[in-house]
Chain A
Amino acid sequence: MADDSTVSTTAAPPATSSGPAAGATRTGRPAAGQSAGGRTAHSNLRKRLEIAFFVTPALALLFLFVAWPVVTAVQMSMFRWNGIGPLVDFVGLQNYVRVLSNDVFIGSLVNNLIIIASSIAIQLPLGLAIALLLNRKMWGQGLMRTVIFMPYVLAEVVAGVIWFQLLQPQYGVIDTVLQSVGIDPPPQGWLGDMDLALWTVVVILTWKYIGLAVILFLAGLQGVPDELYEAAQLDGASWWQVQRKITIPLLGPTIRTWAFLSMIGSLQLFDMVWILTRGGPANATSTMAIFLVNEGTNRANFGIAGAASVILFVIALTMAVLYQRLVMRRDTKGGS
């Protein structure tokens, strides 16, 4: 989304600046012997040149750092390549077959899907509840908002290292506290137990990203007109009814946009898992991005990594387009 804002801000200035600039030229230097039609054509060309001038750097960067790497990834995925020397060993689609028939990759894909589903299933109700709570006038509101939002601001690696230390089996803070109140922590530790590791990661991700959901929902709540609440109160609606019938429906666009962001984030998930478990134990927390880095950087199977990255791209693109088409259609249509 950040890229969108840079593109639109760089595109915006020419549109606004071209008006006054063109006007100044016209008034300052009366067009002697120039026909009205010619002037329009001239200003149109000028406008286009200006647009081209301002857009080209962004497009060039986009091509260099987005389009070109995608093209080389596709190219690389067709070769068997250990990173040294030119691409010579063409294997066609064999790398794709290997990736798609690899249990670890399929397991990673399933983990990604579990994380997507659980992130939305946990963070949506929780985030909504906290946002509704924090939207009420109360003591310490600002402080509470800051506290909730803090984990999101923390660098992912820093948060990961902190949790990694807290969760150390036997000697970590969490296990020590649990033991002192008579609860036995899992013997292999929260991140070392194959059945618990993924859920531990999900809990940490919830802690990390709930702040984003809350802040977005709070922003959305500002857009709900007070008159609706007043009208509802006059009609004798309870607080609960007001939330269900007015607030949440009007938050729809915000929720759908947040869910989209959450979904894309979950698909790309890498750093937190890398710090906490490196995809272990026994690949129990591996994600597609972890698979990709393991194959590419750690094993020098760059062809395989290329194929995996293309597959990840296709999956992400398909999900995004489907979501846009099916879920966010109403939201985006209204704005155009």
Chain B
Amino acid sequence: MTRKMRGATAVALGATVALLATACAGQGTADQDTDTDETTTSEGGDVTLQWWHNSNTGEGKEYYDQVAADFEAANPGVTIEVSAQQHEDMTTRLQAAFQSGSGIPDVYMSRGGGELLVEVEGGLVRDLTEDAAETIDTISAFAGQYSVEDRVYALPFSMGLVGFWYNTDLFAEAGITDVSPNPTIDEFNGYVDQLKDAGIDPISVGAGDGWPAAHYWYYNVVRECTFDTVEAAIDSGDYSDDCFIAAGEQLEDLIETEPFNPGFLGTVAQSGPTSASGLLATERVAMELAGHWEPGVVGGLREDGEVPDFLGWFAYPTFDGQAGDPNDQMGGGDAWSVSAQAPDVAVDFAEYLLSDEVQIGFAELDMGLPTNPAATDSLTNETLAQLIPVRDSGGNTQLYLDTRLGQSVGGAMNDAIALMFAEQAGPQDVVDAIEDAAAQ
């Protein structure tokens, strides 16, 4: 019995740890270069393309199905297998495909930055610099975030920016009638005070998920540091410039004014009525810092499912004596990447997705903020259209820093910033966390 019990213990423990370990096991042993089983090229020139995107509901899905059908009609012999997936499912499946080296779709969504860098280093993604030169020329303003050493690896089709979405009704109720489209930090703090005086929770933030809180620090970096300083720091891994500390101090000052919703440390970003977006949607807070996706998310969290009329937008506040260009913004977008082993027609398809025609349709359905200048006037939603002139005002757009720095460094950074929101870390701790993670 003794022996048996101990065996049982070992089994139970082994199973436990194995279950945990298997979550991380399974190296990419497959040879990635030879694996082209997903793309079948028969002798007659018939080609099947795998296309993954995340517009998996409603009009967006229908629109992309139509786009694929149109391309098939214009290119006889080409079949496109469209796979519309929920966003997190798609990124998980993509990650798994990259790790195993098989089943990588021919055309897929990329978010750029460090994630793209990993794909480039792994030889998984196609260099589009020459093959799609014309399209890149059209959208050149946004290609930088999808380039590695001046080679472009993805074609951005939507590029948005982060700013404050606010409830115009609640602002009016608090007596704030004159909302600046690009306030200074003093004006912004004035809004917060007035809202508090009126008994309204000023800002919701999903600090429980990390990244929504981290956006404040990123934006402070964009304000306090010049674009080149940030780029140089990312290249060298040296974040000793004082502007990074100043960004943290600005954030500490903001946290000190206690502008956030009760329980913000445990609040999640977007799921459910008690999430940060949910609180804005259900008119319980006056504003939230979020990207161009916010109207859609807020609409989805309301009973009628409609984007509410009360939604307004203003840019992130500027600071006195900031080193960054006031026109610089922080944001990000989505781009189409072509996998390394995809047939040439996949590049044609990716270019077609950036054509005037497809981008105009994309804009008309408010699926995102189009990058093709021919389509920027076609947005239906006025609030969303408001972002275009800010985005295209000539400043640089810094990619979300966690995406920019990649999962490993980005995760460590977001954690440190979340600690700052809990008043468990200071400006120097955030910089240290980035430098430590980047050095490893």
Contacting residues, chain A, for B418 (C-beta < 8 A): 280-282
Give the interface segment out of A109-117, A152-160, A216-224, A312-320: A312-320
- Contact between B11 and A309, CB atoms less than 8 A apart: no
Contacting residues, chain B, for A283 (C-beta < 8 A): 415, 419
> How many Å from the CB of A309 to the closest CB on chain B?
5
Kindly state whether residue B8 has any CB partner on chain A within 8 Å. yes
Q: Which residue of B lies closest to A189 (CB)?
A: B263
8 Å CB contact of B412 from A172, A293, A299: A299
- Contact between B208 and A66, CB atoms less than 8 A apart: no
Question: How far, in angstroms, from A325 to B34 measured CA to CA in the complex?
Answer: 53
- Contact between A73 and B25, CB atoms less than 8 A apart: yes
- Contact between B99 and A83, CB atoms less than 8 A apart: yes
Question: How far, in angstroms, from A293 to B2 measured CA to CA in the complex?
Answer: 35
- Contact between B265 and A194, CB atoms less than 8 A apart: yes
Question: How far, in angstroms, from A224 to B338 measured CA to CA in the complex?
Answer: 71
Question: How far, in angstroms, from A65 to B21 measured CA to CA in the complex?
Answer: 10
A-side interface mostly: helix
Give the interface segment out of B12-20, B40-48, B310-318: B12-20
- Contact between A7 and B440, CB atoms less than 8 A apart: no
Interface size for B (C-beta < 8 A) is 61
Question: How far, in angstroms, from A235 to B8 measured CA to CA in the complex?
Answer: 42
Kindly state whether residue A168 has any CB partner on chain B within 8 Å. yes
The 0/1 profile, CB within 8 Å of A marked 1, for residues 398-419 of chain B is 0000000011101110010011
- Contact between B208 and A280, CB atoms less than 8 A apart: yes
- Contact between B1 and A169, CB atoms less than 8 A apart: no
Kindly state whether residue A76 has any CB partner on chain B within 8 Å. yes
- Contact between B407 and A188, CB atoms less than 8 A apart: no
Question: How far, in angstroms, from A253 to B99 measured CA to CA in the complex?
Answer: 47
B-side interface mostly: helix
> How many Å from the CB of B356 to the closest CB on chain A?
36
- Contact between A282 and B424, CB atoms less than 8 A apart: yes
Contacting residues, chain B, for A69 (C-beta < 8 A): 18, 21-22, 25
Contacting residues, chain B, for A293 (C-beta < 8 A): 23
Knowing A73-B25, A313-B17, A333-B2 are in contact, say whether A187-B207 is a contact too (CB < 8 A): no
Question: How far, in angstroms, from A26 to B13 measured CA to CA in the complex?
Answer: 44
> How many Å from the CB of A176 to the closest CB on chain B?
12
Kindly state whether residue B9 has any CB partner on chain A within 8 Å. yes
8 Å CB contact of A298 from B26, B262, B407: B407
Give the interface segment out of A41-49, A205-213, A237-245, A300-308: A300-308
Q: Which residue of B lies closest to A167 (CB)?
A: B266
Question: How far, in angstroms, from A241 to B3 measured CA to CA in the complex?
Answer: 36
Question: How far, in angstroms, from A220 to B98 measured CA to CA in the complex?
Answer: 52
- Contact between B265 and A297, CB atoms less than 8 A apart: no
Q: What is the interface of chain A, defined by CB distance below 8 A to chain B? A: 1-4, 7-8, 62, 65-67, 69-70, 72-73, 76, 80-87, 98, 104, 165, 168-172, 187-189, 191-194, 197, 264, 268, 277-278, 280-283, 289, 292-294, 296-302, 305-306, 309-310, 312-313, 316-317, 320-321, 324, 328, 332-336
Q: List 20 A-B contacts (CB under 8 A).
A: A4-B7, A72-B27, A82-B407, A169-B262, A169-B263, A170-B262, A171-B284, A192-B266, A264-B13, A277-B208, A281-B418, A296-B23, A300-B406, A306-B21, A306-B24, A328-B5, A333-B1, A335-B1, A335-B5, A336-B2
Q: What is the interface of chain B, defined by CB distance below 8 A to chain A? A: 1-18, 20-29, 32, 95, 98-99, 118-119, 121-122, 124, 207-209, 262-267, 274, 284, 406-408, 410-412, 415, 418-419, 421-422, 424, 440
